[in-house]
Amino acid sequence: MPRDGSITRTAIMDAAQSLILDQGFAATSVDQIIAKTGITKGAFFYHFKAKSALAQALIDRHALLDKAHYDSTLAKVQSLTSEPRAQLLLLVGILADEMEGMTEPYPGCLYASYCYEVQLFDDNTAGTIVDALLYWRKELGALIQRVIDGHPPRFDTKAEDLADMVLSLYEGGFILERTHETAGLTGIHLRHFRQYLEMLFPETSAHEA
């Protein structure tokens, strides 16, 4: 085992995540993870007492990275403009750019993979997924509500519904990219959503981006 045990732990998690996204959690065995990483079974169980512990560690890591991604993107748009509508359009535009820039179909999302097999996980693991998705709804929904307050929408809408749409576009886009073996579809869908937002919330200032 390397002196830096974190290297081995990360390698285990990376290998497991790749396998889970490809074939599901139930079909992914400890032996497959060991074979993919080239470690011993003892090394695996040194870092993870059971497969369930690995599952929790994976979703914890995924949720933290997901939150950090949203927070950093929001901070970026907030540094560019203080106007909520412009912030929202910039944010969705950045998300679209990221996904359109992919050269391979996105491998998938652990949230979706786990949800398909939710009966295999304990309440803590399932709760992590719920909390992560609610974070997007809460934070993005708060931004959208500020847009609604300043730019009355053309159609009846709720901030949290629009926030959930972003997640739906991601998860659905990942499925379509893998099915059609075509990268960038998620970004295209996000771009269309941005155009919808532009129509939904009319400009009230000629100075908006």
Of all residues in the chain, the percent with pLDDT exceeding 70 is 95
Long-range Cβ contact pairs of 3-8 (< 8 A, separation 24 or more): 5/46, 5/47, 8/37, 8/39, 8/43, 8/47
The 10s digit of each residue's pLDDT in 153-202 is: 999 999 999 999 999 999 999 999 999 999 999 999 999 999 999 999 99
CATH number belonging to the domain at 51-200, selected among 3.30.420.40, 1.10.357.10, 1.10.10.1100, 3.30.1360.120: 1.10.357.10
The dotted CATH code for 1-49 is 1.10.10.60
The 10s digit of each residue's pLDDT in 175-186 is: 999 999 999 999
Q: What is the pTM of this model?
A: 0.89
Residue ranges in the chain whose pLDDT is less than 50: 1-2, 206-209
Same fold, 1-49 and 51-200: no
